[in-house]
């Protein structure tokens, strides 16, 4: 057995210290850090934002709506980190026709206000960004599309995002959801490719794209909208992947689905499965604290 | 409000209103678009009446890439304009892209009809195994003998033809030092060193070591949908005189490998030297600024921050500022992808950059290809004609879903053509209708295609503009991929006036390619350039046409010759052509 060197011994407590400190943080800070990292990498290396006016508008709309509605609903302004995360997610994910800015304003408003309207037992049911993107894609397909390209189709950038993403997902206590979804995606779409006689790689390739990165690190793991209990969370992740596979099957078969289903099947799958699961969960367990605290 | 349900109901009102607003905005902006009434012109399809029966045939390639052949073979329809026989009537040259299928050289009889003389001219049989298939052509008098010569670029060897007598052409490629295998979709003539001899810039798409009929590897595709740099290397050939060229690509630093689809040249920064603007597929546009012919410097004009799928470069004066602005087409597909076309105002002189002012109308022209600026109604403002549509096959099968999967993969995956899902008989942005954008100045652009008579849904590629009847109207010629070419005759409002110029270079190249003309009339200032290739796989009439609206006079006309000579003309009559010969210094 190799003895640990002095350096390793000295480093271990520091690393552990930071790891443990991360565990004590509100998970939204870690998530906010990760999405900011994605934004910075996406913009500096690939100019993906498409204009700082979009970023400013989305952030302003999300935070202002959150501040206003929380004050109106609860009599106080809540922590705006969730709104910040939604604003950046929308900036990265919405690709409008021409230089239109309204999708960022409407998307931001829909995302945040959905939390105050679409509620059950004092919990919102949809991940705000997922709801806003899905609603815009369904309501305005002639004007709005979703990010469908890669970070330059470059492996190195993907590795950076995935590495940070997985570490933070572990720290937040939702790594099992991310991994379950990714594994389910690979298995189910591999099986789909086999059953259709299509090449495997193009069918599983989308999982490496930035749209899916935002999906697995910020949407299906949203602490406020996941169900309670690790086992249940794993089941729901599998169900979302299954729904997505069914949507893709329908697209493969040429079903006349709205374009949103073909362009962003994962988002639509979450938008359909997630709220139902959450609703059932809330029915099952009356009251209680947010699920991510239970998991810790 | 104390009751939570009531509070939620209050919030629900704007929430559902926002969804309703999104649905409403999907149908278009709430503010009324620019007025489409009275466009002031009609375009009539007179292809058959003119005797033009050209049908493009797409190429077929190595069966190992049969799964993506509709995509790889989706280019090649081109059209260029030149008065090759010097009779004062503009003629048309169309390229074909399948082995054995001839190119067509339509001689303008001057009575509204054309005859195909390609075979007798020696310009028909250019699509042969071992030589390649035609992708386009550009005309220019490279030896300044007063006759327009032609370069044909191919997926294969370049081919340069010297115009012998206005009726016959001789292949001088080998002697010119241009027998190079280039998988090219574009080329332009320009005189980058202002020595009075036309130089040649050739863009390359697939790598030049790729023979699409005898592949040694199927790793021939782009390695990124956004920042691919593994395309063919563009080349610049310097005209040495005596009919010879030499390759100065590396010496001058213009060997982009960004999958260039189109190029255009003009003096964007007004320093007196012609620059080169590139539209690149799978990457950002590039502007190479000419540093006194010593080298070209890749400009940091803000272009690098927008990665799209550039298909075509058209130059025109958008708002009569006396500047040449840039219109680059891209891809838009409902629900999947809005890359948006770029209409970039040229601010190089004052801000060392461009400002993209494409509104929702001009930004989205579907899967757009060739485009040109032209004053179709002679009101003094440029319209935009945009051809579009990529692959029209089965109307009920779309490749977009498959494309959305492959676009998300890592580059090394889709670089291999064999890993792409099979196209089968699917369409990809097929059956799109060409756009004709009416210029309403600061009120914006409005598509009037249907209203003015442009209703075809062919897979348009190249667009060229020319006054084919010498009557002060800008006719539109569209080369369609794997489909018939179309000639739209322009019938502008007869109350509007116009003026046109035929330029003859002396110290500059004889074709006057690169000359920029500025016309001032009634407070309007318009600028146009004699192009050596512009748009996508196309070249316009060498004669420059200006609409003047109701103005019956021209205050001043300034010609900036490529040699650097500046010529001022006054008291010109309108509604006629003026032939201007470059003065001695």
The DSSP annotation for A223-259 comes to: TTTSPSSHHHHHHHHHHHHHHHHHHHHHHHTT----H
Query: Per the domain annotation, does A98 fall within a domain?
Result: yes
Contact call for A145 and B338, based on CB within 8 A = yes
Confidence (pLDDT) at B84: 98
Say how far apart CA A168 and CA A232 lie, in whole Å.
Answer: 21
pLDDT at B33 > cutoff 90: no
**Both tokens assigned to B504:** 């003859």
Find, in chain B, the residue whose alpha carbon is nearest to that of A203: B405
What whole-number percentage of chain B has pLDDT above 70?
Answer: 99
Confidence (pLDDT) at A150: 65
Q: How many Cβ atoms are within 10 Å of A8's Cβ, its own excluded?
A: 11
The count of domains in chain A is 1
pLDDT at B32 > cutoff 80: no
Confidence (pLDDT) at A2: 40
Confidence (pLDDT) at B20: 96
Measured in degrees and rounded to the nearest 5, phi and psi for residue B388 equal: -155, 180
Find, in chain B, the residue whose alpha carbon is nearest to that of A205: B409
In whole angstroms, how far apart are CA B203 and each of B94, B236, B269, B511? 19, 9, 22, 21
Say how far apart CA A113 and CA A157 lie, in whole Å.
Answer: 33
Say how far apart CA B374 and CA B380 lie, in whole Å.
Answer: 10
Confidence (pLDDT) at A295: 36
Q: Give B6-46 as a 3 state SS string.
A: HHHHHHHHHHHHHHHHHHHHHCCCCCCCCCCCCCCEEEEEC
| Strands across the sheet containing B342-347 | B313-316, B325-328, B342-347, B353-356
Distance to chain A for B420, nearest Cα, Å: 7
Confidence (pLDDT) at A34: 84
From the list B270, B231, B272, B275, the residue with the least C-alpha distance to B253 is B275
From the list B286, B265, B199, the residue with the least C-alpha distance to B235 is B199
Confidence (pLDDT) at A7: 47
Contact call for B337 and A95, based on CB within 8 A = yes
List the single residue in A148, A254, A258 with the smallest CB-CB distance to B396. A254
The answer to whether A203 and A105 have CB atoms below 8 angstroms apart is no
**Both tokens assigned to B254:** 């213009």
3-state secondary structure of B550: coil
Say how far apart CA A197 and CA B177 lie, in whole Å.
Answer: 50
3-state secondary structure of B387: strand
Confidence (pLDDT) at A4: 44
Say how far apart CA B359 and CA A98 lie, in whole Å.
Answer: 6
- Give the pLDDT mean for B374-385: 97
Cα Rg for chain A, rounded, in angstroms?
20
Distance to chain B for A293, nearest Cα, Å: 26
Query: Per the domain annotation, does A5 fall within a domain?
Result: no
A217 DSSP assignment: I
Count of CB pairs separated by less than 8 Å, A with B:
185
Query: Per the domain annotation, does A71 fall within a domain?
Result: yes
Distance to chain A for B366, nearest Cα, Å: 11
Residue with token string 């016309």: B519
Mean confidence (pLDDT) of chain B:
95
The DSSP annotation for B166-212 comes to: SS-EEE-HHHHT---EEE-SEEEEE-TT-SSS-EEEEE-SB-TT--T
Chain A residues within 8 A of B410 when measuring between CB atoms: 150, 153-155, 158, 205, 208
| Strands across the sheet containing B114-116 | B114-116, B104-108, B91-95, B78-82, B538-539
Contact call for B225 and A96, based on CB within 8 A = no
Query: Per the domain annotation, does A16 fall within a domain?
Result: no
Distance to chain B for A270, nearest Cα, Å: 18
From the list A275, A272, A249, A247, the residue with the least C-alpha distance to A261 is A247
The answer to whether A134 and A260 have CB atoms below 8 angstroms apart is yes
Contact call for B334 and A73, based on CB within 8 A = no
List residues bridging with B27 in a β-sheet: none
pLDDT at B7 > cutoff 90: no
In whole angstroms, how far apart are CA B506 and each of A101, B86, B271? 52, 17, 21
- Give the pLDDT mean for B390-400: 94
Say how far apart CA B74 and CA B70 lie, in whole Å.
Answer: 6
Query: Per the domain annotation, does A96 fall within a domain?
Result: yes
Say how far apart CA A294 and CA A24 lie, in whole Å.
Answer: 14
| Sign for the pseudo-dihedral over CA of A169, A171, A175, A177 | negative
From the list B274, B254, B258, the residue with the least C-alpha distance to B266 is B274
Confidence (pLDDT) at A152: 67
Confidence (pLDDT) at B572: 93
**Both tokens assigned to B64:** 């190992």
Full residue range of the structural domain in which residue A33 is found: 26-284
Query: Per the domain annotation, does A11 fall within a domain?
Result: no
Query: Per the domain annotation, does A21 fall within a domain?
Result: no
Residue with token string 């060997």: B255
Contact call for A140 and B224, based on CB within 8 A = no
Distance to chain A for B304, nearest Cα, Å: 9
Query: Per the domain annotation, does A185 fall within a domain?
Result: yes
- Give the pLDDT mean for B493-498: 93
pLDDT tens for B533-574 read 999 999 999 999 999 999 999 999 999 999 999 999 998 999
Residue in A116, A117, A148, A153 to test binding to B, most B beta-carbons within 10 Å: A153
Q: A277 or B303: which carries more pLDDT confidence?
A: A277
Q: What is the mean pLDDT of each run of 10 residues along chain A (296 residues)?
A: 46 66 73 86 81 94 97 93 94 89 97 95 93 96 82 75 86 92 96 89 84 88 92 97 96 90 95 96 71 41
Q: How many Cβ atoms are within 10 Å of B45's Cβ, its own excluded?
A: 17
Say how far apart CA B478 and CA B458 lie, in whole Å.
Answer: 10
Say how far apart CA B405 and CA A176 lie, in whole Å.
Answer: 25
Say how far apart CA B541 and CA B264 lie, in whole Å.
Answer: 15
Element (H, E) at B489: strand B486-492
Residues in contact with B54: Cβ distance below 8 Å, sequence separation at least 6, in sequence order: B94, B104, B106, B116, B479, B484, B485
List the single residue in A113, A212, A263 with the smallest CB-CB distance to B335. A263
């Amino acid at each position: 057995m190799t003895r640990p060197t002095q350096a390793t011994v000295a480093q271990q407590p520091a690393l552990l210290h930071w790891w443990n400190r991360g565990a004590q943080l509100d998970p939204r800070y870690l998530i906010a850090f990760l999405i900011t990292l994605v934004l910075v990498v996406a913009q500096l290396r690939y100019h993906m934002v498409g204009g700082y006016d979009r970023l400013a508008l989305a952030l302003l709309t999300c935070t202002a709506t959150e501040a206003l509605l929380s004050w109106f609903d609860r009599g106080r302004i809540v922590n705006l980190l969730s709104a910040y995360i939604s604003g950046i997610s929308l900036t990265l994910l919405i690709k409008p026709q021409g230089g239109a800015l309204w999708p960022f304003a409407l998307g931001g408003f829909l995302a945040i206000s959905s939390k105050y309207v679409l509620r059950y037992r004092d919990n919102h049911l949809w991940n705000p960004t997922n709801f806003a993107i899905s609603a815009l894609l369904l309501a305005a397909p002639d004007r709005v599309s979703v990010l469908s390209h890669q970070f330059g189709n470059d492996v190195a950038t993907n590795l950076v995002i995935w590495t940070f993403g997985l570490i933070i997902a572990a720290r937040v206590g939702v790594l099992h959801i991310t991994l379950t979804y990714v594994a389910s995606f690979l298995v189910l779409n591999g099986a789909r490719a086999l059953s259709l006689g299509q090449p495997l790689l193009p069918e599983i390739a989308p999982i490496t794209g930035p749209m899916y990165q935002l999906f697995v690190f910020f949407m299906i793991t949203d602490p406020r909208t996941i169900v309670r209990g690790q086992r249940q969370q794993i089941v729901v992740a599998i169900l979302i992947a299954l729904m997505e596979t069914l949507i893709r099957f329908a697209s493969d078969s040429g079903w006349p689905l709205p374009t949103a289903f073909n362009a962003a099947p994962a988002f639509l799958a979450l938008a359909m499965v997630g709220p139902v699961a959450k609703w059932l969960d809330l029915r099952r367990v009356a009251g209680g604290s947010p699920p991510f605290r239970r998991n810790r | 409000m104390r009751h939570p349900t009531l509070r939620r109901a209050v919030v629900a009102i704007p929430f559902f209103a926002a969804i309703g607003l999104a649905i409403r905005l999907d149908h278009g902006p709430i503010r009324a678009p620019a007025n489409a009434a009275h466009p002031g012109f009609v375009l009539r399809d007179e292809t058959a009446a003119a005797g033009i029966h050209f049908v493009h045939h797409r190429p077929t390639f190595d069966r190992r890439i049969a799964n993506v052949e509709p995509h790889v073979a989706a280019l090649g329809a081109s059209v260029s304009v030149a008065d090759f026989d010097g009779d004062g009537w503009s003629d048309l040259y169309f390229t074909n892209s399948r082995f054995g299928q001839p190119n067509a050289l339509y001689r303008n009889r001057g009575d509204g009809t054309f005859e195909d003389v390609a075979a007798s001219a020696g310009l028909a049989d250019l699509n042969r195994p071992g030589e390649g298939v035609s992708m386009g052509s550009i005309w220019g008098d490279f030896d300044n003998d007063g006759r327009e010569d032609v370069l044909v670029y191919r997926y294969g060897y370049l081919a340069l033809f010297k115009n012998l007598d206005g009726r016959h052409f001789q292949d001088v490629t080998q002697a010119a030092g241009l027998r190079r295998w280039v998988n090219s979709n574009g080329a332009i003539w320009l005189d980058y060193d202002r020595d009075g001899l036309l130089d040649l810039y050739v863009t390359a798409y697939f790598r030049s070591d790729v023979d699409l009929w005898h592949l040694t590897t199927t790793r021939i595709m782009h390695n990124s949908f956004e920042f691919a740099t593994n395309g063919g290397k563009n080349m610049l050939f310097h005209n040495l005189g005596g009919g010879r060229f030499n390759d100065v690509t590396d010496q001058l630093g213009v060997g982009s490998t960004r999958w260039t689809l189109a190029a255009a040249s003009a003096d964007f920064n007004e320093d007196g030297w012609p620059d080169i603007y590139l539209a690149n597929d799978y990457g950002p546009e590039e502007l190479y600024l000419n540093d006194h012919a010593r080298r070209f410097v890749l400009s940091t004009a803000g272009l690098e921050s927008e990665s799209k799928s550039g298909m075509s470069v058209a130059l025109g004066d958008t708002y009569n500022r006396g500047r040449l602005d840039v219109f680059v087409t891209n891809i838009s597909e409902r629900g999947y992808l809005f890359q948006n076309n770029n209409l970039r105002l040229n601010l190089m002189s004052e801000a060392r950059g461009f400002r993209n002012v494409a509104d929702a109308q001009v930004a989205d022209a579907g899967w757009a290809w060739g485009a040109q600026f032209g004053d179709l109604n002679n009101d003094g403002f440029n319209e935009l004609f945009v051809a579009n549509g990529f692959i029209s096959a089965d109307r009920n099968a779309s490749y977009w879903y498959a494309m959305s999967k492959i676009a998300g993969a890592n580059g090394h995956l889709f670089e291999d053509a064999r890993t792409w899902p099979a196209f089968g008989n699917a369409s990809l942005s097929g059956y799109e209708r060409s756009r004709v954008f009416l210029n309403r100045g600061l009120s914006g652009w409005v598509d009037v295609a249907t209203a003015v008579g442009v209703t075809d849904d062919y897979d348009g590629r190249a667009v060229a503009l020319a006054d084919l009847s010498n009557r002060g109207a800008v006719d539109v010629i569209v080369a369609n991929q794997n489909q018939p070419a179309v000639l739209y005759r322009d019938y502008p409002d007869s109350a509007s006036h116009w003026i046109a110029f035929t330029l003859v270079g002396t110290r500059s190249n004889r074709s006057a390619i690169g000359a920029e003309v500025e016309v001032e009339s009634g407070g309007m200032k318009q600028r146009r350039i004699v192009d050596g290739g512009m748009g996508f796989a196309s070249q316009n009439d060498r004669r420059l046409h200006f609409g003047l609206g109701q103005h019956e006079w021209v205050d001043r006309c300034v010609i900036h010759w490529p040699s650097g000579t500046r010529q001022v003309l006054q008291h010109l009559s309108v509604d006629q052509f003026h032939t201007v010969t470059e003065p001695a210094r």
